[in-house]
Amino acid sequence: GAGVSQSPRYKVAKRGQDVALRCDPISGHVSLFWYQQALGQGPEFLTYFQNEAQLDKSGLPSDRFFAERPEGSVSTLKIQRTQKEDSAVYLCASSQMARRYGYTFGSGTRLTVV
């Protein structure tokens, strides 16, 4: 596709429910990043993939957060036993080159935990 596609666009989850957020990067982009953006704040780094390898997961806030990119293209961010503090917009970005330059962001998934 022409851009980074994320689904669902909106997700409402009950506290304790597991959720899965999908990211379709730009075709051929090697690098893929997940960011979390709380209301009124800048995006915060969660994790980074180069092809299928997860090279940096230092931003994941707890072991309830898990990300995968098994075939080096589509990625899924999974949050287990969601908590209210997980409510945020989850942004995915991809880049043609390994971790440098030209990040293209998707429109994000707005997660609300009630």
Partner 1 sequence: GESVGLHLPTLSVQEGDNSIINCAYSNSASDYFIWYKQESGKGPQFIIDIRSNMDKRQGQRVTVLLNKTVKHLSLQIAATQPGDSAVYFCAEINQGGKLIFGQGTELSVKP
The site for partner 1 (CB under 8 A) is made up of: 4, 33, 38-45, 48, 56, 84-85, 87, 91, 93, 98-108
What's 14-46 look like in SS3? CCCCCEEEEEECCCCCCEEEEEEECCCCCCEEE
Cβ count near 54 (within 10 Å):
16
CB-wise, 37 or 76, nearer to partner 1?
37
CB-wise, 42 or 70, nearer to partner 1?
42
Q: How far is the CB of 11 from partner 1 (least distance, A)?
A: 15
Q: How far is the CB of 9 from partner 1 (least distance, A)?
A: 9
CB-wise, 77 or 93, nearer to partner 1?
93
Q: State the Cα–Cα distance between residues 84 and 109, nearest whole angstrom.
A: 16
CB-wise, 14 or 84, nearer to partner 1?
84
> 56-64 — which CB contacts under 8 Å span 24+ positions?
61/36
Q: How far is the CB of 45 from partner 1 (least distance, A)?
A: 6
